[in-house]
Amino acid sequence: MVTELCNGYVDAEGAVFYTTSRMGRNVAVTASTINKLKQHNISTITISENLNSNDPTSIFVMNMLGCANEYQSAQTSEDVKNRLTDTAMAGYYTGGAIPFGYQTIEVKDDQNKTRKKLVVDEDEKSTLLKIFKLASKGQNGKPMGVLSIASQLNNEGLLNRGKKWDRNKVNRILRNTTYIGQFLYRKGKPNEVMVSVPSLIKEEVFDQIAEGLTDRQLENTESKGVRSKTLLTGLLKCEKCGLNLAIDHGKSGQYKYYKCTSKKNRGHDSCTCPNLPKEKVEEAIKSVLLEKIFTVDHIFSTYDELKDICRKLAKTDKNELSKKQKKCIKLKQRLSTLYNQIGDGVIEMDSSLKQHLSQQRLELKSIETDLKHVKKRLEQKIFKFGKDKAEHFCNTIADYFKKANDEVLKSLLLACVREIKVCTGEVKLKGSKYQLIELASKAKTGTPSGVPVFVTKWRRDRDLNPRYAINVCRFSRPVLSTTQPSLLSFLKQCNESKQCTIYCSGGEIGI
């Protein structure tokens, strides 16, 4: 209205407001409105206070009332925030859009007041679980992206409360901690409050999906190689510069080989990492995995080694868990005492106290995160399995290596291989022993071959220890290219002169 008056869209001698608070709840806004209208010879009149901007006394009163209105607005806002914070701390729902998969019910609190709580909506639960399942395992062991999930749900007629899904809605669901039982009021702000609600998803599954979403963001270039359909892209790394080896072509695309991205982008002389013919190095690595890693003897020796390691770590983790739990209890008691003193008026809330409370809450959050990690380590179990299951696992893997395409086979490699380092003279493969045993223990005897039931992860867990390391092959030449002999023939020649071997844990495999 003020803009239209100042621009001359409306011919008027004055602007009438019911009260000064209708001009604004900020003294600067109120004064600015009066001055703008006055510059265009338009009077400001209030009915409730009977004030007119043509009178100097009225302008003084208007400014005073503007200060009072600003204070009242700020005080009301603070009161509402405090009441909602109290509601959240008592474990009740504070209002707003109800998360998909939940509904609200009315309950009575200790003072017989009607409150609301979140409970699971059984009608939406199946769709929600499907979203997380597709994001975790997809259809063939490879997680689906948010756009693919939205498209599939829409095609199946599974709507979002009558509306179609889009990538943003799916992404918000997959990142919402409500589904692991933690509804956050004032999320990300200093006085954030966590309200416990019924959980629908396991926390480790939620964390794994969240990590995958972050890795697949456009600005995250580190995981692009892992997401590639090429078998070893994202796994092969140059030992010298630490960069990935990417697919390159020679002789007008007739040959394919893995090449250090430093050489690819900065020139051939920028790195001494050898160029590896694609088919030959893939076959060499598959051979080592089948003959040295996915064997019954190696699996049982690794199993025994891990049992000893887990027993030793369990003692340390139990002591650490006890110390952190005591520290967490003391910190919660300290915060509770402060809140009670503030509520009773014993101490007054000021900026320094707010900062202290914020630091205490951050410290508590850090300790709770550490506790979660320690508990997770203690909960890691090595499931028992016999020789029949181990043999079935190894046979299924061998069959899987022959039949599966590169994209699906990569899901298996990522589940047990951490990285493959390439240097001037050799290729070294590293992986997780724990993950290997976990895969073997999940194998189900009697299941048909195809996509194994134990391949459920597209991305590897970076925090599983200990790890195994093997030398896949050693080269006597610093550089291989499409103009040089093939890797297989080259390895055969070197093996005859004892210059090249495929090596693992003290053993040699002849080429």
435 and 497: one domain? yes
- Using DSSP, state whether 154 is helix, strand or coil: helix
53 and 131: one domain? no
Evaluate whether residue 11 is within a structural domain: yes
- Using DSSP, state whether 274 is helix, strand or coil: coil
Last residue of a domain, one of 57, 89, 121: 89
Evaluate whether residue 222 is within a structural domain: no
d(CA 73, CA 80): 11
Tokens of 463: 């925090």
| Residue 510 exposed, middle or buried by CB count within 10 Å (0-12, 13-18, 19+) | exposed
Helix (H), strand (E), coil (C) string for 399-431: HHHHHCCHHHHHHHHHHHEEEEEECCCEEEEEE
Helix (H), strand (E), coil (C) string for 285-343: HHHHHHHHHCCHHHHHHHHHHHHHHHHHHHHHHHHHHHHHHHHHHHHHHHHHHHHHHHH
Last residue of a domain, one of 37, 59, 89: 89
Kind and range of the H or E run holding 490: helix 487-496
CATH of residue 106's domain is 3.90.1750.20
150 and 265: one domain? no
Evaluate whether residue 220 is within a structural domain: no
Cβ neighbours, 10 Å, residue 477: 14
435 and 332: one domain? yes
User: What pLDDT is recorded for position 253?
Assistant: 66
User: What pLDDT is recorded for position 480?
Assistant: 34
160 and 297: one domain? no
Evaluate whether residue 250 is within a structural domain: yes
Specify the amino acid at residue 196: S
Last residue of a domain, one of 59, 89, 119: 89
CB distance 286 to 376 below 8 Å: no
Number of domains in the chain: 3
Evaluate whether residue 29 is within a structural domain: yes
19 and 47: one domain? yes
Domain encompassing residue 67: 2-89
For the whole prediction, is pTM greater than 0.75? no
User: What pLDDT is recorded for position 156?
Assistant: 92
CB distance 274 to 475 below 8 Å: yes
User: What pLDDT is recorded for position 170?
Assistant: 93
380 and 504: one domain? yes
179 and 257: one domain? no
426 and 449: one domain? yes
Q: What is the pLDDT of residues 362-411, one digit of tens each?
A: 888 888 888 888 887 777 666 677 788 888 888 888 887 887 777 778 77
| Residue 410 exposed, middle or buried by CB count within 10 Å (0-12, 13-18, 19+) | buried
Give 184's strand partners: 194
253 and 397: one domain? yes
Q: What is the pLDDT of residues 160-187, one digit of tens each?
A: 999 999 989 999 999 999 999 999 888 8
| Residue 65 exposed, middle or buried by CB count within 10 Å (0-12, 13-18, 19+) | buried
178 and 317: one domain? no
303 and 199: one domain? no
CATH of residue 30's domain is 3.40.50.1390
For the chain, list residues with pLDDT below 70: 141, 215-227, 251-253, 380-383, 424-425, 443-511
CB distance 47 to 17 below 8 Å: yes
User: What pLDDT is recorded for position 179?
Assistant: 94
* Displacement of CA 322 from its chain's centroid (Å): 28
Tokens of 488: 């297989």
